Structures are given as structure tokens and as C-alpha cells.
Structure 1
């Protein structure tokens, strides 16, 4: 498998007391994933966009106010033309125990970012990751040791596997910041309904997965009030619960088929919660798996080694002729 490059940045702060002024309700971590063959083009196109929209400054979400939704959507649309995919971790700080170990900033940063790192290093055996800097040099070294101990066996044998870098020195880390900040506006309910729809439309085809933590069995939409619609909603809640239970059962060391099943499941979950369309065509699953490092996989393997085995494990997946 060719090398994949990940560029990671965040939106939000680590404080768990969300009632304090200026404290975010959510902490969003975004990874930009670029194939080795597309790296030079991604850097060049991102730099052109930075100069066009931000002149001498960084591509930074906080430089745009909530009222600048049209400008944000234009920039997101232009960024969507770059050769990359996205993966997010979304942490609801209001659901974390405020007296636990995560109240300490360094522990919070390591653990929450680790939720993302774990999935990426598991999905991409040959991965180079560059993350925005946190704190001083001592913390940078402790973060590297934390990642090495938990997610990859030979990190110190490859000096490029995990690096920290100031966002001002890497335009693709800046792109991660912009997407993280845009998703934060959705979760923090700061953006208008029209803006949310525009942002989601852009994110739909770029996003490989979105991990919400702590796990919760609810969509981003309110439950329907009519009886039949509410029944469908309840089935969807149970499907989400079974999906999480399956992920927990598989654990940290899935075999090849289980990796396939997890990748399909995360994609379907993202589509059902974030995109809210009725069915996902098989062709979109094929494209997602290719972007996730599985290479060329045919429909038969998706059905037999993926969907069928998920159903055998009590995961609720419906299908129809159109998807």
C-alpha cells in the first residue's frame, strides 16, 4: 500500500466546564488524508488558495465570523477540489465527567487526539502524520511517546511517522483547522440552517468517517413527531447501538475482513447521521473503501465479506434495489 499523509488540527478548547464564557461545547479534531502521489498537488493548490483568500495570513477558521457563511462556503467548495479526504473526531465535552482524569489539559489532548490517531494508524499501515503543535518541547516529546506506545510499534524507526509542526509552517495543517472550525459551527449550533445544509453538502463526498465520543445513539436531527416516522427513528437508534456494540466486540486488533466491515460500518453511519439520504449506492461504498486504503474491491466481496457478516453480527442494515 502506498504511503498516506495525514495533517491534523483541532477546534475548541480542553476545558470541561462548558458553562464558562468562551468555553466550547465540543472539541473537534480533523485529519486531512492525502495519498503520496497527490501530495505535491495538494500543497500547491492549498497554497494558491491561501494567497487568494487570506493573502499573507494562514488559512484559519477563526478569521471568518459566523455571519461570513457565504464566504466560508465558497472557500470550502474550493478546498473540496483538492485531492484529499477527511476524518473527524467530535467530542461532546458536556458528557465527560468533570472530576475525572480528562480535566487535565495534557491528558485531554492526548486521549482525545488518540481516538483519531488509533483509527488512522490502524487503517493506513504506511502513514505519515503531522499535527499542530501543543505546548512546549517537553509536551511534544511526551505526545510522541504516547503515540508510539499505543498506536504503532516502530514509530522511532521511522522519523517521519509522527511529527508536530506549527500551523504557520504547514498549509495543509491550516486546511485541517478550517474544516475543524466549520464542523464546530454545525455542532455548536452557531451556523444558520441554510449554512449547515451548505456545509454538509460539501462535507458529504469528502468525509471518510466521523467518530462521536462519548458514543451516543442519536442523529443530528430531531425525532419525527408522526407515529410512523417515530417508529423509523427508533429503529435507527437501535441500528446505531448495534453498530457501536459491533465495534466494541471487534476491539483493537481486527482481522482483514473485520477491518473491511468496520470501514463499511463507519461510512454507513456517517451517511445516515450526517448526510440523511435514504440509501447509499454500492458504488459510493466501493469509492470509500478505495480511499480508505483497501484498493479495488468488487461488489461481491462487499456483500459477502462486509454487509452479510455485519448482519450476521446483528447490525441492522437495510437495502433496496437502489442501494
Structure 2
């Protein structure tokens, strides 16, 4: 998704100022759709995460993606689920994070504790799946 990234910049006396620049957002989610958290296999939280990269940094980000894919994933799609949940997998994740820290990007997250949802209207799966992405999009594009 393409939009405007709000970039923080420390100004006079530590005050933050924000500048709008064109950028790209890469959004993913984690969690099960069911609000019945007592059901086995259902997550207690729903997480949306957006990575914002300014237009001037997008080519470098794509180069870094290709490098990480080649170096750590044999040229395949970068997926955390393809990394083991053991010490070796943990070390691999740390190496990938170290590579990513060379990029200039912003992270926007929205974490919803599904046990706190008490509105009858939000108990409908379709409602919550429409509201949550709209919330992260609006926050990311501010």
C-alpha cells in the first residue's frame, strides 16, 4: 500500500516534529478470527503490524529483502514459520533482525486483547475484521 509516512525528527529542545513524505506500507496480521478465546487453538490477542518505508528508501529495502532471502532462506520467501523454534532458529532470527536494523523504517502496531471486547456489534467476526485493519491504516497514514 502506498501512502504518506509521518517521519519523526527531534527538533529544538528535544521536541518532536513530523514531516510527511511518500512511502510504502507492508501490513500483516497475527491471530485467529474467533472471539471465543476459550476455544482450543484460538489466540487471546489479534495483532496487526505495518512497516512504513519512505519512497526514497524503498529500493534499498528491496535490495535488503533480496539479500536476506538469499543469505538466510536459500532465495525463498522470508517466513518466520520456516525457521525452527529452537536455539538455531532463534539465532537465525537475530541475524535477520541485525540485517533489518540497517534499514530506515517505521513500525506501527495494533494489539487487541480479544477478552476485552464487550460490544455486541463487535462480537460479529465480520465487524472486527473490518474495524481493525481500518484502524491500523488510519494510524499508519497519519
Q: TM-score, normalised by structure 1?
A: 0.35
- Matched position secondary structure for 1:47: helix
Equivalent in the alignment of 1:45: 64
Which structure has the highest helix share of the two? 1
Distance 2:111 2:84 in 1: 21
Equivalent in the alignment of 2:114: 93
**Residue 78 of structure 2 corresponds to residue 79 of structure 1:** no
Partner of residue 124 from structure 2, selected from 101, 104, 110: 104
What's the CA shift string for 1:28-76, capped at 9, x where partnerless?
A: 1111111111111111111211222222432222223443322222222
What's the CA shift string for 1:149-183, capped at 9, x where partnerless?
A: xxxxxxxxxxxxxxxxxxxxxxxxxxxxxxxxxxx
Q: Is contact 2:29-2:47 (8 Å) kept? A: yes
Distance 1:81 1:8 in 2: 20
Aligned in 2, Cα 1:60/1:102: closer, same or farther, shift over 3 Å?
A: farther
What's the CA shift string for 1:96-155, capped at 9, x where partnerless?
A: 13x72333333222111122112122x2xxxxxxxxxxxxxxxxxxxxxxxxxxxxxxxx
Equivalent in the alignment of 1:69: 90
Q: Displacement of 1:81 after TM fit?
A: 1.5
**Residue 126 of structure 2 corresponds to residue 113 of structure 1:** no
Q: Is contact 2:51-2:105 (8 Å) kept? A: yes
Q: Is contact 2:69-2:77 (8 Å) kept? A: yes
Distance 2:138 2:82 in 1: 30
Distance 1:87 1:63 in 2: 24
Equivalent in the alignment of 1:11: 30
Which structure has the highest strand share of the two? 2
Equivalent in the alignment of 2:6: none
Aligned in 2, Cα 1:19/1:66: closer, same or farther, shift over 3 Å?
A: farther
Which residues of structure 2 form unaligned runs of 5+?
1-19
Aligned length: 121
Q: Which protein shows a greater Rg?
A: 1
Distance 2:43 2:116 in 1: 13
Distance 2:76 2:32 in 1: 22
1:252-291 to 2 correspondences below 5 Å? none
Q: Is contact 2:72-2:92 (8 Å) kept? A: no
Equivalent in the alignment of 1:235: none
Q: TM-score, normalised by structure 2?
A: 0.74
Distance 1:77 1:2 in 2: 26
- Matched position secondary structure for 1:16: coil
